[in-house]
Chains A and B, each alone.
Chain A
Amino acid sequence: MSKHHVTTTINGEPTEYLCEGQQTMLDVLRDELGLTGSKEGCSSGDCGACTIIVDGDIVCSCLMLGVEAEGRKITTIEGVAEGDKLHPVQQKFLEHAALQCGFCTPGFIVAAKALLDQNPNPTEEEARYWLAGNLCRCTGYDKILRAVMDAAEVMRAEARR
Chain B
Amino acid sequence: MPRVNYEAPTSVDDAVKILAGASGLAKVMSGGTDLLVQLRSGRVKPDLIVDTKRIPGLIGIREEGDFFVVGAATPGVMLSGNEKLDHAWPGIVEGADLIGSTQIQGRASLAGNLCNASPAADSVPAVIAARAAVVVAGPNGTREVPAESIPTGPGRTSLAKGEFIVAFKIPKPKPHQCDAYLRFIPRTEMDIAVVGCGTNVTLDASGTCIDARVVLGAVAPTIVVVEDAAKALIGHKLDDATLAALDAAAQKACKPISDKRGTIEYRTKVAGVLARRTAAIAFERAAAR
Contact = CB atoms under 8 A, between A and B. Distances in A.
Interface of A: 1, 4, 20-24, 43-46, 48, 51, 54, 57-60, 62-65, 67-68, 70, 111, 114-115, 129-134
Given A48-B101, A58-B106, A60-B104, 11 more contacts: A1-B5, A22-B4, A22-B49, A43-B37, A44-B41, A57-B75, A57-B77, A60-B103, A62-B36, A63-B31, A68-B51
Interface string B38-55: 011100000001010100
B102 A130 contact: yes
B9 interface: no
Give the one of A23, A58, A59, A111 with max B CB within 10 A: A59
B101 A1 contact: no
B82 to A, nearest CB: 14
B102 A21 contact: no
Nearest to B32: A63
B32 A65 contact: yes
A43 B3 contact: no
A4 B33 CA distance: 21
Contacts, number: 93
Given A57-B75, A130-B102, A133-B102, A67 B6 contact: yes
Interface of B: 1-6, 8, 31-33, 36-37, 39-41, 49, 51, 53, 75, 77, 100-107, 189-190
Nearest to A131: B102
A51 B49 contact: no
12 contacts: A21-B5, A43-B37, A48-B101, A48-B103, A62-B36, A63-B33, A64-B107, A65-B36, A65-B49, A111-B103, A129-B189, A132-B189
Contacts of A57: 75, 77, 105-106
Contact of A132 (B8, B31, B41, B102): B102
Contacts of B4: 20-22
A132 B3 CA distance: 32
Given A65-B6, A132-B190, A59 B103 contact: yes
Contacts of B1: 22-23
